[in-house]
Amino acid sequence: KAGVTQTPRYLIKTRGQQVTLSCSPISGHRSVSWYQQTPGQGLQFLFEYFSETQRNKGNFPGRFSGRQFSNSRSEMNVSTLELGDSALYLCASSPGDYSYNEQFFGPGTRLTVL
Amino acid sequence: DQQVKQNSPSLSVQEGRISILNCDYTNSMFDYFLWYKKYPAEGPTFLISISSIKDKNEDGRFTVFLNKSAKHLSLHIVPSQPGDSAVYFCAASATGANNLFFGTGTRLTVIP
């Protein structure tokens, strides 16, 4: 079974621009979660989508948004980029049925904001 | 606020010895705990988990211990191997939620 894939793997943007990251979950998984990893902060939860609906949201500003498509693929968008948005963005998928399944992570997208 | 804390940013252990990684949490609603391992340029990979109805779970060289009264869990790796060198994240979740709260990670270095 193919794992979680994320594109692109690396991205360089400048302040004020916007960016869209993509995530394809494991086949059959309906839940996709997004996390931001920065040095010293660990992984911070951004939001979770299930069946095209945002089911959970972390404590991030409205510049961070996402969506999920009918095939469970998900995109994350960050508008008006700030230097502090430089981070590794990780996508994770799970069946999503609230059973205690572990989440399976993709390799991440490394975003650098100049 | 950081609801899951890993207070040791790094740990070095000799090959063959025991590695003990610690994690504390503050939210009493957490009832499921996981450990992930992360290599550079890769996403975290699931290692082992424990439900709050247990106090110990073993999987080969890896054992997780949970002390609910102290809101503390630990991961024991015995014997430690150089391939175990990675960053280890502790994570927690609550019933009905499908998001994980992660600690800041502990970098384990196993010295050959």
Q: pLDDT of A61-91, one tens digit each?
A: 999 999 999 999 999 999 999 999 999 999 9
Q: So what's the pLDDT on residue A1?
A: 63
Q: Check residue B13 and give its pLDDT.
A: 98
Radius of gyration of chain B (CA): 13
Question: Which residue of B41, B51, B98 is in closest CB contact with A94?
Answer: B98
> Considering chain B, what is the average pLDDT of its residues?
94
At B16, is the pLDDT very low, low, confident or very high (cuts 50, 70, 90)? Answer: very high
**Is residue A10 over pLDDT 80?**
yes
Nearest to A42 among B89, B93, B99 (CB): B89
Between strands B10-14 and B106-111, the pairing is: parallel
- In this prediction, residue A42 has a pLDDT band, given cuts at 50, 70 and 90, of confident
Q: Region A17-35: what's the mean pLDDT?
A: 95
Note whether B42 and B50 are within 8 A (CB): no
**Which is more confidently placed, B65 or A39?**
B65
Smallest CA-to-CA distance from B91 within A85, A24, A33 is with A33
The amino acid that residue A43 corresponds to is L
Task: Choose among B6, B91, B98: nearest Cβ to A56.
Answer: B98
Tell how strand B86-94 and strand B30-38 pair up. antiparallel
Contact A42 B2 (CB under 8 A): yes
* DSSP 3-state of B82: helix
DSSP string covering A7-24, please? E-SEEEE-TT--EEEEEE
Q: Do B46 and A43 touch (CB under 8 A)?
A: no
Contact A100 B44 (CB under 8 A): no
Closest CA to A110 of A79, A92, A94, A87: A87
A49 CB-near residues (< 8 Å, 6+ apart): A31, A32, A33, A55, A66, A67, A68, A74
Contact A41 B104 (CB under 8 A): yes
Q: What average pLDDT score do residues A99-109 get?
A: 83
Instruction: Yes or no: say if B6 and B63 are a contact pair by the CB < 8 Å rule.
Output: no
Residue A2 has pLDDT above 80, yes or no: no
Q: Which of A48, A100, A105 sits opposite B99 (nearest CB)?
A: A48
User: What pLDDT score does A99 carry?
Assistant: 57
pLDDT at B1 over 80: no
What's the average model confidence in pLDDT over B62-83?
Answer: 97
Computed over its alpha carbons, how large is the radius of gyration of chain A?
13
Interface contact flag, B98 A55, Cβ < 8 Å: yes
Distance from CA of A77 to the nearest CA of B (A): 19
> What whole-number distance in Å separates Cα of residue B20 and Cα of residue B10?
11
Measured between beta carbons, the chain A residues lying within 8 angstroms of B42 are: 107-108
- State chain A's mean pLDDT as an integer: 92
Kindly give the pairing relationship between strand A31-38 and strand A42-50. Answer: antiparallel
In the prediction, which pLDDT does B70 show?
96
Question: Could B99 and A45 be called an inter-chain contact, meaning their C-beta atoms sit closer than 8 Å?
Answer: yes
pLDDT score for A101: 63
Q: Is the pLDDT of residue B54 over 80?
A: yes
In the sheet with B19-25, reading across from the earlier edge strand, the strands are B4-5, B19-25, B72-77, B62-67, B56-59
Q: How many Cβ atoms from other residues are within 10 Å of residue B83's Cβ?
A: 9
Identity at B3, one-letter amino acid code: Q
